[in-house]
Chain A
């Protein structure tokens, strides 16, 4: 009896904590009469969300999602083959690794305006910015995974005379799956960040644009509402990637998970 109550409490704990936090937030804002352009109350945020037409929400959300997914897809499609090449060629990794580190060390936010100038209006510059932010973790993690293949396994492949491509496909890539997915999970949330950063620089729609636009008119509750949508989007994509791994590669999950 007491145990079931405790376990229910245990499972509900995150939700209860979140609700409690919102209550404290609401109460503190009201009691201290914090002006809504500094910190709006949760109720004000919800209210303002409903003042914006649904079609407008969908429009901005779709714009951000579209750019994120395009940049992410590009990062996956270029990052994984590049990682395979880097992991299998000492020469190539010696030649390209320094450039990759330079790209990663460059603050993308600072480069974003330049990219916009070079690539002009439209999705292209935003997709490129998103790509630049998401691509590095995918490459690094995939290379690490590919190189974690037991050497004896590669020796077995060589002793069978199966060829390099087959070794990559049958042995190296599957061994790298857990590493690849941990990068894919992180990168999908980075993709949202990339799209938002790009929208801050130059855009006429998207949730990032909407936040910048709202704050410039001191519609802070509205900006907060957009932030909530962004976080939800990020979490949903993260869970989607995790679900894909569970469905397609169940053996690659850590043993402790059910």
Chain B
């Protein structure tokens, strides 16, 4: 669709400059989903976005993905305004969104098949590699309904990684999973990210999840969605179960909790 940009040296991977999004619903009423949102993501930085539901997190992600054009301000990827969907962006959704009639390996290569009508041998080999990486090598020939929720979400991650995107957008990817699977998936994501560095924007409403994963956390306020604070996590990497018991982890968790629940009037 678009030519792939060479990631510029000093240019931020993603930049929002006073981005606003006003939706007009069918009955004419207007909803301000985002208001004056500004931030930048450095290349290969892992940033979590946290905020109450309905505060515009998914809208923010859609704007970066080029699926929604903001009504105000400007969103940029590597210094260029986002004009539509771009090659260097991969998306993982809250639901696995797999095609039930395709085998796992064909679900992973689906983006290529869908876009170009065919899948090259290289891409097929890459799909097997990715399935190996997410621990699903033995499930490549299964259909999605034969997999657990966590496994399905791994397939979704492998699919998003197929074209080796430089930017990975994840919209509450683990929120449909049980707590144990969730922790496991978080560590797995960190391992993948360490293996193949990427700029990650990770939406969540779990404070521990955000702290465990991210370099920085963007805390958003409820309607209209604004950036309330950007927190430097500063916990040592690689992170592990031990990270969860560090004093700084708890301090930050409390600090964020206070931010999220701070009444609007005092903001």
Q: Which residues of A contact B (CB under 8 A)?
A: 150, 152-153, 155-162, 166, 170-171, 174, 249, 251-252, 255
Complex-state Cα separation, A37 to B97, whole angstroms? 62
Q: Evaluate contact between A170 and B143: CB separation under 8 angstroms.
A: no
Q: Evaluate contact between B145 and A157: CB separation under 8 angstroms.
A: no
A176 to chain B, nearest CB (A): 12
Chain B residues touching A, majority SS: loop
Q: Evaluate contact between B114 and A166: CB separation under 8 angstroms.
A: yes
Segment among B16-24, B72-80, B83-91, B251-259 that sits at the interface with chain A: B83-91
Mark contacts of B223-262 with chain A using CB atoms, 8 A cut-off: 1 yes-contact digit, 0 otherwise. Answer: 0000000000000000000000000000000000000000
Known: A152-B93, A166-B114. Contact between A158 and B67, CB under 8 A? yes
The reply to whether the CB of B115 lies closer than 8 angstroms to some CB of chain A is: yes
B residues in contact with A157, CB < 8 Å: 114
The reply to whether the CB of B118 lies closer than 8 angstroms to some CB of chain A is: no
Q: Evaluate contact between A255 and B99: CB separation under 8 angstroms.
A: no
Q: Evaluate contact between A161 and B85: CB separation under 8 angstroms.
A: yes
B134 to chain A, nearest CB (A): 18
> Please, could you name 23 A-B residue pairs with CB atoms under 8 Å apart, sorted by A?
A150-B95, A152-B95, A153-B99, A155-B62, A155-B93, A156-B97, A156-B111, A157-B114, A159-B66, A159-B89, A160-B85, A160-B111, A161-B84, A161-B115, A162-B114, A170-B114, A171-B99, A174-B99, A249-B101, A251-B100, A251-B101, A252-B101, A255-B145
In the complex, the number of residue pairs spanning A and B with C-beta atoms less than 8 Å apart equals 53
Complex-state Cα separation, A18 to B65, whole angstroms? 62
Q: Evaluate contact between B113 and A170: CB separation under 8 angstroms.
A: yes
Q: Evaluate contact between A155 and B114: CB separation under 8 angstroms.
A: no
Other-chain contact of B85, A152, A153, A159, A171 (Cβ < 8 Å): A159
Complex-state Cα separation, A161 to B114, whole angstroms? 9
Q: Which 4 A-B pairs have the closest CB atoms?
A: A161-B1, A152-B97, A251-B101, A152-B93
Residue of A nearest to B2 (CB): A161
The reply to whether the CB of B94 lies closer than 8 angstroms to some CB of chain A is: yes
Mark contacts of B1-27 with chain A using CB atoms, 8 A cut-off: 1 yes-contact digit, 0 otherwise. Answer: 110000000000000000000000000
Q: Evaluate contact between B95 and A159: CB separation under 8 angstroms.
A: no
B145 to chain A, nearest CB (A): 7
B residues in contact with A174, CB < 8 Å: 99, 101
Q: Evaluate contact between A162 and B115: CB separation under 8 angstroms.
A: yes
Count B-side interface residues using an 8 Å CB cutoff. Answer: 25
Mark contacts of B192-234 with chain A using CB atoms, 8 A cut-off: 1 yes-contact digit, 0 otherwise. Answer: 0000000000000000000000000000000000000000000
Complex-state Cα separation, A69 to B143, whole angstroms? 35
Complex-state Cα separation, A156 to B90, whole angstroms? 9
Complex-state Cα separation, A120 to B91, whole angstroms? 59
Complex-state Cα separation, A155 to B95, whole angstroms? 12
Q: Evaluate contact between A155 and B67: CB separation under 8 angstroms.
A: yes
Complex-state Cα separation, A255 to B101, whole angstroms? 13
A residues in contact with B89, CB < 8 Å: 159
Complex-state Cα separation, A160 to B85, whole angstroms? 7
Residue of B nearest to A153 (CB): B97
B residues in contact with A152, CB < 8 Å: 93-95, 97
A68 to chain B, nearest CB (A): 30
Q: Evaluate contact between A150 and B85: CB separation under 8 angstroms.
A: no
B146 to chain A, nearest CB (A): 11
Identify 20 new A-B residue pairs, CB closer than 8 A, beyond the known A155-B93, A160-B111. A150-B95, A152-B94, A152-B95, A152-B97, A153-B99, A155-B62, A155-B91, A158-B67, A159-B91, A160-B85, A160-B114, A161-B84, A161-B115, A162-B115, A166-B115, A170-B113, A170-B114, A174-B99, A249-B101, A251-B143
Complex-state Cα separation, A162 to B66, whole angstroms? 14
A residues in contact with B2, CB < 8 Å: 161
Complex-state Cα separation, A156 to B85, whole angstroms? 10
B94 to chain A, nearest CB (A): 7
A residues in contact with B114, CB < 8 Å: 157, 160, 162, 166, 170-171
B residues in contact with A166, CB < 8 Å: 114-115, 117
Residue of B nearest to A177 (CB): B101
A residues in contact with B143, CB < 8 Å: 251
A146 to chain B, nearest CB (A): 15
Complex-state Cα separation, A162 to B116, whole angstroms? 8
A residues in contact with B145, CB < 8 Å: 255
B98 to chain A, nearest CB (A): 9
Complex-state Cα separation, A170 to B114, whole angstroms? 7
Complex-state Cα separation, A152 to B113, whole angstroms? 18
B residues in contact with A161, CB < 8 Å: 1-2, 84-85, 115
Residue of A nearest to B97 (CB): A152
